[in-house]
Structure 1
Amino acid sequence: MAASLVLTGCGEEANRPVSGGASTEYAIREAAPEPAPPPPAARMRASADEITVSGSRVQRPDGATEAAQGPLLAYTYQTSLELPADILGGAHAAHVEACQNAGPATCQVIRAQVNNADGPRPSAYLQLRAAPDWIVEFRAGLETEAEELGGQVLSDQTSVEDLTTRIVDTAARVQAQTTLRDRLQQLLETRDGDLSDLLAVERELANVQADLDAQASVLAALRQRVDTSLLTLNYQAERQVVEPETFNPIGRAFKEMGDVFAESVASLILFLAGALPWLVIAVPVISGVIIGFRRLLRRKKAAG
């Protein structure tokens, strides 16, 4: 027989039916009632800066206020450098080392790559995520460093994304799900009931916990984007007036000349080897036809 367990006191998140067992109804407010989360309008005013995530729980520091403290922005930087080919790899390695020396709490290398390192035109790529202050200081010295190395900054781009609404909304959902999860746990610990009812509560608790973990992960990722900045560096070799590869086609032509001549002679030999048997047969036949045709012409002339 279908039954429903009405979970009250948690706003719209808690008013969801749970199926299973005999018809029984419990009110969570009877088990150590806690204040319900603020309405959506109040939750929207809560500052996401005042919410930290520890596992699946949302914690607020003492004295936290509901007033927002400004927009939450995620900064992304992209810089392209042109450097002499012989020092490009060293500059790339120095930048990677600078990030690693700052420590993982300040800077983390996401991707580092060097292409055609020993070639005439190497290139490299570096992507890192670091604290905003470290990024600002690092970028401030890039132009001077490039000029000292004989290169230049080709392009420098900054983009900003406002994550305030997403962070506040996600934090509010995490807070509501945390309250619901705690009350479901209290219900399991303090109330006795049929096994089917307890199993239904446990299933609902598992669903709430899974959703809470997912929302907490999203919130942590959004917070990381605000607390750190993403920097992408592209390195390319400086173009020379006359590059070594300019005359490469001529050099390759001289190197391949002997091979081409040998292949041509070999092709001729193979052609003669294949045509010779046919020539032995074809030459006498063609000669006989020509001789017979000439005799026929002479006879016609003599008769005329």
Structure 2
Amino acid sequence: MSIRTLFASAGILGLAACGGGADYEQASPPAPSPIMNESVMEFSADMSLKSGRTRAGAPQDVSPEPSIGAPSAEQYIAYSHSLGLTLPKGGVDPMMATHVDACRAAGTSTCIVINSNIYSQEEDYASGNLSIRATPDWIDAFLARVDAETETAGGEVTQRSTRAEDLTRQIIDTGARLEAQKTLQGRLLNLLERRDGELGELLQIEREIARVTGDIESIEAQLKTLRLRVSMSSLDINYQTKVPAFSGSRENPLGEAFGDFFYNLSAAIAAVITAFAVGLPWILLLALFLWIWLKLIWPRLRGKKKKPS
């Protein structure tokens, strides 16, 4: 059995796994050995059973007939939700802790905390964000009660959005690719088990099996990620502290002035001391210049003016 015959047959197996038995019948590779003919015939029969069932007494036809009015395939929709909550002073941390505890209490199979951050810029002002991934039922129940919980805490829901992404085609296509690669892997393993080729041919089959196995693992990871996005939706929550238009101190300017009296007085004295410390060297330098001018230079100039011309 030549290496060209072996890999031409493997190529036919890959095409048949992706497109059905009709593509295989149109291919005309070099004449394979009797063992290869038997393997390809077995694979063609298997693919015929997978492609479609024939009626009793009717000739075998692997091409499925188009069905009009057939029910549509199952849809795979991934949902992403986001919320914006505005809370009173000191309410961000307790509210976020309540949401985190509710998610963890549901269990990792229902809800998972992906990310949780809180930022405190001032004593009474804080902001934060929470990212979770949970089942659609859990998120629906959470969204149904979040308005009442926020209102009870003295806050409000300021932003709410939901985005849906249809992953039906990606999941179906990825699943079909996975089945095709698994079928090709099985046929290559059968060829390797027969060991009726030369050593070089067997080594090339092993390399092809390793490549196909790597593709299978990669496709399985992609399919798992897509299905996870469908089975568990994402929810992002942003928390902000409600800042009033006017603070308490601004509503009472007189109280603010009395409250800041000693601070302003000490600040003024500190400014005077700072100015004196900065100006003292210049004052000493100016005083020295005046002394030299009055004691040494000015008397000489005055004496010259008194001399008769």
Give your verdict on TM over 0.5.
yes
Q: State the Cα distance separating 1:190 from its structure 2 match.
A: 2.0
Aligned alpha-carbon RMSD (Å): 3.9
Give the counterpart letter for 1:203 in structure 2: R
Report the Cα distance in structure 2 between the residues aligned to 1:120 and 1:244, rounded to whole angstroms. 13
Residue 301 (structure 2) pairs with residue 293 (structure 1): yes
Alignment of 1:180-259 (within 5 A): 180-243=184-247, 255=263, 258=266
Report the Cα distance in structure 2 between the residues aligned to 1:222 and 1:150, rounded to whole angstroms. 39
| Aligned partner of residue 155 in structure 1, secondary structure | strand
Q: Which of the numbers 99, 103, 106 marks the counterpart of 1:102? A: 106
Q: Which of the numbers 146, 150, 153 marks the counterpart of 2:154? A: 150
- 1:154/1:297 CA distance change after superposition, 3 Å: same
What residue number does 2:180 align with? Answer: 176
Alignment of 1:128-139 (within 5 A): 128-139=132-143
Q: Which 10-residue stretch deviates more, 166-175 or 280-289?
A: 280-289
Superposition TM-score, scaled by structure 1 size = 0.72
Q: Which 10-residue stretch deviates more, 208-217 or 262-271?
A: 262-271
Report the Cα distance in structure 1 between the residues aligned to 2:38 and 2:299, rounded to whole angstroms. 127
Report the Cα distance in structure 2 between the residues aligned to 1:245 and 1:131, rounded to whole angstroms. 47
Q: State the Cα distance separating 1:10 from its structure 2 match.
A: 2.2
What residue number does 2:115 align with? Answer: 111
Residue 171 (structure 2) pairs with residue 163 (structure 1): no
Q: Which 10-residue stretch deviates more, 156-165 or 259-268?
A: 259-268
| Aligned partner of residue 243 in structure 2, secondary structure | coil
Report the Cα distance in structure 2 between the residues aligned to 1:67 and 1:106, rounded to whole angstroms. 31
Q: State the Cα distance separating 1:132 from its structure 2 match.
A: 0.6
**% of aligned pairs identical?**
30
What residue number does 1:63 align with? Answer: none
Report the Cα distance in structure 1 between the residues aligned to 2:273 and 2:260, rounded to whole angstroms. 20
- 1:102/1:276 CA distance change after superposition, 3 Å: same
Give CA deviations for 1:25-51 in whole Å, capped at 9, x if unaligned.
Answer: 778664483334759xx99x9xxxxxx
What residue number does 2:13 align with? Answer: 9
Report the Cα distance in structure 1 between the residues aligned to 2:271 and 2:240, rounded to whole angstroms. 41
Relative to its length, the structure with more helix (as a share) is 2
Report the Cα distance in structure 2 between the residues aligned to 1:283 and 1:207, rounded to whole angstroms. 98
- 1:178/1:67 CA distance change after superposition, 3 Å: farther
2:79·2:230 contact (CA, 8 Å) conserved in 1? yes
| Aligned partner of residue 240 in structure 1, secondary structure | coil
Q: State the Cα distance separating 1:260 from its structure 2 match.
A: 7.5
- 1:212/1:88 CA distance change after superposition, 3 Å: same
Give CA deviations for 1:72-103 in whole Å, capped at 9, x if unaligned.
Answer: 21110001111122232112111111111111
Give CA deviations for 1:250-294 in whole Å, capped at 9, x if unaligned.
Answer: 889965874785576366446545875796578426753333334
- 1:256/1:214 CA distance change after superposition, 3 Å: farther
Report the Cα distance in structure 2 between the residues aligned to 1:207 and 1:256, rounded to whole angstroms. 78
Alignment of 1:51-66 (within 5 A): none
Residue 77 (structure 2) pairs with residue 69 (structure 1): no
What residue number does 2:95 align with? Answer: 91
Unaligned runs of 5+ in 1: 15-24, 46-65
Q: State the Cα distance separating 1:68 from its structure 2 match.
A: 4.3
| Aligned partner of residue 141 in structure 1, secondary structure | helix
Superposition TM-score, scaled by structure 2 size = 0.71
Report the Cα distance in structure 2 between the residues aligned to 1:136 and 1:156, rounded to whole angstroms. 13
What residue number does 2:57 align with? Answer: none
Q: State the Cα distance separating 1:157 from its structure 2 match.
A: 0.5
1:108·1:130 contact (CA, 8 Å) conserved in 2? yes
Unaligned runs of 5+ in 2: 19-31, 53-62
